[in-house]
Structure 1
Amino acid sequence: MKKIGFIPLRKGSKGISNKNKRKMVGRPLFTWVLGEAVFSDLDEVYVYTDDQDIIDFIKKEYHWTPKVKALLRSEESAGDKVSTEFAMLEFCESINYGFDVFCLLQATSPFTKREDINSCLNKLNSNYDSVLTVVNTHRFLWNEDGTPINYNPLDRPRRQDFEGLLVENGAVYTTTKPALKKNKNRLGDNIAIVKMADESLMEIDTESDWVAVESLLIERQKRAKESQKITHVVLDVDGVFTDGTITYTKDGEHTKSFDMRDGMGLEILRQFNVEVMIMTSEDSQLVTKRMQKLKIENVFLGVKDKYTLLNNIILKEGITLSNVAYVGDDVNDLTNICSVGWSLAPNNATDVVKQHADIVLSKNSGAGAIREACQFIMNYNKRF
């Protein structure tokens, strides 16, 4: 049974400019749900968009997985007043309904986890032809004429005694191909529900919404941290190995300065069986040469969605995020900083990274920060 995910994206956004591509906790908003879809039980995940920049981004960023595909949608299906169903059906016809289960995923629902997607897929059976996600809200609702909708105000229940209401949060919808072809809708005739966390009900329509959702995501990532032995350390390059500056020659070539003591620290760390990995958004031959000199084999260059790649690495390595230490300095490191077992930032890192890192090192980048981080990891691992 072939199960596909479908993420529709439009280039325009009325409330927040470039909302889908804007960085939420350091990564484009749409990658929060795309990354979870990659690691779910879906067989393929399609991003359907009129934005060529997003298509190019996906082809470059997710080359390591055959599951993710990006398709250009028509101008007609990307209009402000066009329904999501119109885009769904246009897409389905373009691939000749080549699937058994269709899963619509909302790009502006960053709280969606792979477990939510899998729960929806698993509920499809002979009794249900579609599933949607909801939130159990305990709000008291009223009509405009001043009459209550869901409780008796003269006998106001306590929250713990109040069943509340189930509210559609718009995050995940799954349906079978027969139901989709029959109803031409995301939902069929026999619908099951999957409950998601309360915060997933939040919409992202204003700048205030954005700030609130970002703060909640950061706290969610931090709450999942656990104290485990560090088996892998992942490092950014510019602003971690180097002081973040680049020197250009008259011919346009540039140089970077590396601290030799950092290299020795990493060599000592590997003697204690800690795997060293490099993950940088830059694609630099200078970095390649330096890492070859340091005999570091796992070097990932040109990475923009560092969190999804890190999740792929830990699955292959058979470890968890709690086994990882991460050293980063800027906003594109932020999700990893908030998620790994131990995160460390050089003393001259950006304020937002230092605010959320577990350890702010006393040394600056390119001036012994990595050596100090290596010493912390070795001392920390002694307890195991």
Structure 2
Amino acid sequence: MKKIGFIPLRKNSKGIPNKNKRKMVGRPLFTWVLKAAIFSDLDEVFIFTDDKEIIAFVESQYKWTNKVKALLRNTENASDTASTESVLVEFSEQLNNNFDKLCLLQATSPLTTSQDINKTLSKIEKDGYDSSLTVVNTHRFTWSSEGKPINYDVFKRPRRQDFEGLLIENGAVYCTTKETFLTSKNRVSGNIGIVEMPEESLYEIDSETDWTIVEALLINRLKQQKESAKVSHLILDVDGVFTDGTITYTKEGEHTKSFDMRDGMGLEILRELGVEVLVMTSEQSELVAQRMQKLKINEVYLGVKDKYALVKKIILDNNIKLGNIAYVGDDVNDLANMCSVGWSLTPNNATTVVKEHADVVLTMNSGSGAIREACEFILNYNKRFFK
């Protein structure tokens, strides 16, 4: 039973320019639902877009999984007047209808989780529905344009706890069987099951106000899920953490970076006490590779633009939890991880937004002992777990 995820993206957006590529909590917007899809029960996940930059991003950033693929959609079918159903048909035809279950995922619903996707699939696989979709139960009272109450009696206004509410489609996830889709050419049809999502998932990102609200909701959710445990793994950014963030160049390219020797000793002591050290940077740098080899750090991830998804893979590969990770970063591309891990630390000269959300703002600057200070913090913190 082949289960396919489908994320349609358009290059142009009138409401918010470059919306799909714009960073939401430090990550391109579309990667939030993509990450959820990768770690769901879907067998494959397709990004279907007319944006070649997004295709290049997907092809370079998700080599660590064989689930993600990118396909180029027709420009004519990527206009703001094209229906999602027409795009679904085009996508299905490109695949020669090679699927059993088709799951439409909307990039403008970044609060979607792997569990939400799995529940909509389960409605079909276990409960026997032809299709399914996600909804929100809202306790708002609705009115017609003629001034008539629709879902309650104004003379018997119910208390919230006694009010069943109203189910509203939130536009996040739609699943259907191949047979049902090929018959109706619609995202849902036949016997339709519903899956409830939290009320905040009703927000879709169509304006700057929506963007601000959803970003705050995402950050809040990540922080609420934080848990503290013994630190078994330390993940470090490079530029702005190991270094002061400056690079000198010659006409041949990158020339030098400066590293603090005290940081290296702190990491050595940390490893001797059983803490694994990993390095994750968005840059492709031979100098960084050489320095990490000198420091005997074996797990070095270069050129990583979606650090949050990769950390999830590391967690699964090492059978640990987010609470076992300490993370040191300095800029917005570290923000999602720093809001999620057990302990997030940042140099004193980090960007303002990262300092606002870090658990610990170090007294030392990057490239001037910040990592050494972070190591000492972790060593002292882990003492509470010693028997």
TM-score (ref. length: structure 1): 0.99
Aligned positions of 1:147-186 closer than 5 A: 147-186=148-187
Query: Structure 2 unaligned runs (5+)?
Result: none
Which residue identity does 1:183 align to in structure 2? S
Equivalence for 2:75: 75
1:89-122 residue CA offsets vs partner (Å, 9 max, x unmatched): 1111111110100000001100000000001111
Give the aligned partner of residue 331 of structure 2: 330
1:316-369 Cα offsets, whole Å, 9 max, x none, are 000111110000000110001101010000000000000000000000000000
Q: Is contact 2:247–2:254 with CA below 8 Å preserved after alignment?
A: no
1:209 CA displacement: 1.1
The residue number in structure 1 matching 2:124 is: 124
- Corresponding residue number in structure 1 for 2:201: 200
Q: Which residue of 2 aligns with 1:40?
A: 40
How does 1:313-352 map onto structure 2 within 5 Å? 313-352=314-353
Deviation of the 1:3 alpha carbon: 0.2
Give the deviation of 1:249 after TM superposition: 3.1
Distance 1:36 1:202 in 2: 17
Unaligned runs of 5+ in 1: none
For 1:203 and 1:145, locate their aligned partners in 2 and report how far apart those are by CA, in whole Å.
Answer: 27
Partner AA of 1:368 in structure 2? G
Which residue pairs with 1:187 in the alignment? 188
**RMSD of aligned alpha carbons:** 0.8
Q: Which residue of 2 aligns with 1:258?
A: 259
Does residue 12 of the first structure (1) align with residue 12 of the second (2)? yes
Aligned-pair identity (%):
69
* Superposition deviation, residue 250 in structure 1: 5.1
- In the alignment, which residue of structure 1 is the partner of 2:246? 245
Q: Could you give the per-residue CA deviations for residues 179-233 of structure 1, whole angstroms, max 9, x where no partner exists?
A: 0001110112100010001111012111111111101100000000011111100
Structure 1 residues 155 and 91, CA, compared in 2 at 3 Å: closer, same or farther? same
Cα distance in 2, alignment partners of residues 203 and 366 from structure 1: 41
CA shift at 1:127, angstroms? 3.2
Q: Verify the 8 A CA contact 2:227 2:323 in the aligned structure 1.
A: yes
| 1:55-74 alpha-carbon deviations (Å, 9 max, x no partner) | 00000000111100000000
Hey, what does 1:94 align to over in structure 2?
Answer: 94
3-state secondary structure, aligned to 2:384: coil
Partner of 2:216: 215
CA–CA distance in 1 between the matches of 2:156 and 2:344? 50
Q: Which amino acid aligns with 2:304?
A: V
For residues 254 and 85 of structure 2, the distance between their equivalents in structure 1, rounded to whole angstroms, comes to 51
> Is contact 2:131-2:192 (8 Å) kept?
yes
Aligned positions, number: 384
Aligned to 2:339, what secondary structure does the other structure show? helix
Give the letter for the 2:71 counterpart.
L
Q: State the partner residue of 2:84.
A: 84
Match of 1:383, SS? helix
Deviations 1:237-266 (A, max 9, x none): 000000001112354442000000000000
Match in the other structure for 2:30: 30
Q: 1 CA distance for matches of 2:139 and 2:9?
A: 32
Query: Aligned partners of 2:248, 2:14: CA distance in 1, in Å?
Result: 41
Check the 8 A contact 2:242/2:259 in 1, yes or no.
yes
